[in-house]
Structures are given as structure tokens and as C-alpha cells.
Amino acid sequence: MSFIRNTLKTVLLSSQLKSYPQLNNTRSIKRWVAPTLRELRRRREKLGPELPEPRSQFLDWNYSAELYAFGKRLNEEFDQSSLQSALTNRSYIIQEENQQREVGIEEPQVNLTDNTKLMEKGAAIVADYIDAFLRYSLPKVPEEGIKAFAAYLMSEDTLAHVSRHLGLTELVFSGEYPPSNETMARSLLAVIGSLQESSGSEKAFSFIRDFICTQLNQKDLSELWVIEDPVEYLKSICKDLKLAEPEPRLIGEAGKNTVLAAYQVAIYSNKVQIGQGFGEDTQTAIQVASLDALRSLFGIQENMTPFNFEIQVDQLSTAKAAKRLQK
């Protein structure tokens, strides 16, 4: 029995050894692989950076379907021909005409309309609504502040940022790719003009409120409106509001006569504190305190009431009419 048992162990052990992979001392990567990869990389770098390829160059691109899907994503109804005109820039038409001349066509014809008129209409609508929205939301802010905030919302960078995040990059017809900020901003204004023609002014106003005015959300408004001389400006504002002339007072200091000196200054008017600030010297602290007082007077401090982005057009119209009667 022991002989049979030992024989079976030997057979099982030999079968297990045969099932194990055998080690091979030869190299698994050939010598030519590394030089080939280096040469391919060198040629790739010699060609320079790879230019982005427009989505419209893909075989499965369907422009009409993309325009339809764009409107549905935004829950808006667009006239397709008007929307296509809004996304067609003059540079694209010029490019198409030049290509036709190169192939021998003396009088090139491009059956497209550029977005110049729609852009002008959209810019007027956006400017009018933003002005009404800011005056309603920030009733204490003077004219200079309203203009500064409106300039930020209508700036090329802000409009281009909104336009790209709405997915207009691949829908815009332009002579350049990717489209520049100017092209994207003009296209967005033209889309708003097209929406006004297709669905009415109220839809266009809601679009502006939801996508452009919301760019003020969680923004520090004091950074958008830079006051050059806050001390003198505070004096003029207090005079307009019939308040006593602001009076700065030193209410705290630390590290005097050291490189880490800090001073705390408060601004008082009619014996009431209206602002305070810190600085490495008293003059800086007075300027910071003046800015804090201005923010408090205008209602644009850091803990201000959030903007109401659900406001309706009739509310803006009522507020605008009331201000006209007050004037």
C-alpha cells in the first residue's frame, strides 16, 4: 500500500510541475522597439501641435438635427432658418466666396444670410433687459455702478463664456476654428435676436435672465465696480443722501512701529458707524473702511441678499414705471 501511495504522489507531483509555466530567459521586448518609438515621437513633434478638427467634418454630422436638438435642450422654439442665420458669421460667407473664386466661379453665390441684423437686435434687447434687471435688483446703487455691472454682463468674455457652455462652438459658421471670443459673443446675441423673432420678447427676456444675468451669482460686486478714490466718493454720496460728513476714527492697532503693524479704522456719520476696515497704515485702513461703508450704503456687501433670478418681466416693467413717476 505504501508503494502504491508513493507512486501516486510522484505522478501527481510530476503533473503539477508540468502545468506550471516554464521560465524563459529570452527578452520579451525586441531591441528595435525602443528606437522605433523614439523615432515615431520625434516625427510627431516635428509636425507640430495637432489642430482641433471641427465636429462638422465627421461623417455622421447632421446640422439640421443639431439645430433642432439645440432648441430642445434649452426648451425653446426657434425658427430653423432664423437660427441658422444667427449662427452664420460674415467671415464664413467671405470664406465660401473666396473658395468659389479659386475654382473659377467669377460671380460666387452663397445662399446664406449673416447674423449682423440679428446680432444688433439681440444686443439692444440684452442691454434693455440687463439695465432693468440691475435697477430692480440693486435700487441703492448709483448710475456708475449700474453701468459697471452691465458692462461686465455684456462684455465679450462673459458672452463668449455663456455661448460656449450652451454648446454653440460646433454650431457656429465661421471662417476660423475654434471661433474667437468675439465670434461667440456675436453669435449669442444673434441667437437672442432670433429667439425674439421666433417666440416673442418674453421668451428672450427669460433667456437673458437665466443665462446671462445669472453670471452675477456669487460674484463680489466690489471687484466688478472699481472706485478710484473711495474716501472722496463716500463724502459725495453722504452729501447726496443728506448724511453728515463721514468721520474716520482709529479704534484699534497692533504691532505699532513694526513690519507687522495693523490698524483698524471705523467710519462714522451722525455718530453711527457705517463701515470699518484694516490696513498696514492708517491711510490704507481709512480707504478700506470707506469702501466697506460704500458697500453697506449701496447694499452690495458680502452678505447681501441673493439676486432673484425668478423675477418676471411684468415685475420689472412695474418697477421701471414707478421710477419714472418718481423722477
Backbone angles phi, psi at 60, to 5 degrees: -90, 15
Range 78-104 average pLDDT: 83
Domains and CATH numbers, the chain: 61-221 (1.10.1520.10), 228-298 (3.30.160.20)
Please state the rounded mean pLDDT for residues 225-243. 88
Please name the residue that has the C-alpha cell 426648451: 75
Q: Mention every residue, 6+ apart, whose C-beta is less than 8 A from residue 101.
A: 108
Higher local confidence (pLDDT), 290 or 20: 290
The C-alpha angle with vertex 91 and arms to 85 and 96, in degrees rounded to 5, equals: 85
Examine the pLDDT at 127 and tell me if it is beyond 70.
yes
* Tens digit of each residue's pLDDT (9 = 90 or more) over 16-53: 545 545 555 555 778 888 999 999 999 988 888 777 77
Neighbours of 235 (CB within 10 A): 15
Write the CB contacts of 158 (distance below 8 Å, at least 6 apart in sequence).
Answer: 152, 212, 215
Q: Which amino acid is at 218?
A: Q
Which carries the bigger pLDDT value, residue 111 or residue 205?
A: 205
Give the pLDDT of residue 324: 45
Q: What is the mean pLDDT of the chain?
A: 83
**Residue 144 DSSP class:** H
Evaluate whether 153 touches 130 at the Cβ level (below 8 Å). yes
Which comes out higher in pLDDT, residue 146 or 3? 146
Query: Which among 29-33, 59-63, 161-165 has the top mean pLDDT?
Result: 161-165
Residue 102: its pLDDT value, please? 77
Report pLDDT for 92.
Answer: 79
Average pLDDT over residues 185-211: 92
What pLDDT is stored for residue 311 in this prediction?
A: 82
Cell of 83: 437660427
Measured on CA atoms in the order 41, 47, 53, 59, is the torsion positive or negative?
negative
Which stretches of 20-142 are DSSP H helices?
Answer: 33-46, 63-73, 80-86, 90-102, 116-137
Which is more confidently placed, 175 or 40? 40
* pLDDT higher than 90, residue 96: no
Among 98-102, 156-160, 278-282, the range scoring the smallest mean pLDDT is 98-102
168 class by beta-carbon count within 10 Å (0-12 exposed, 13-18 middle, 19+ buried): buried
User: Is the Cα torsion angle 96, 102, 104, 107 positive or negative in sign?
Assistant: positive
User: Picking from 14-28, 74-88, 125-139, which range would have the lowest pLDDT averaged per residue?
Assistant: 14-28
Q: What DSSP designation does 48 have?
A: -
- 318: pLDDT confidence band, cut at 50, 70 and 90? low
More confident position, 106 or 291? 291
Task: Please report the pLDDT score of residue 327 as a whole number.
Answer: 44
123 Cβ partners below 8 Å, 6+ apart? 154, 189
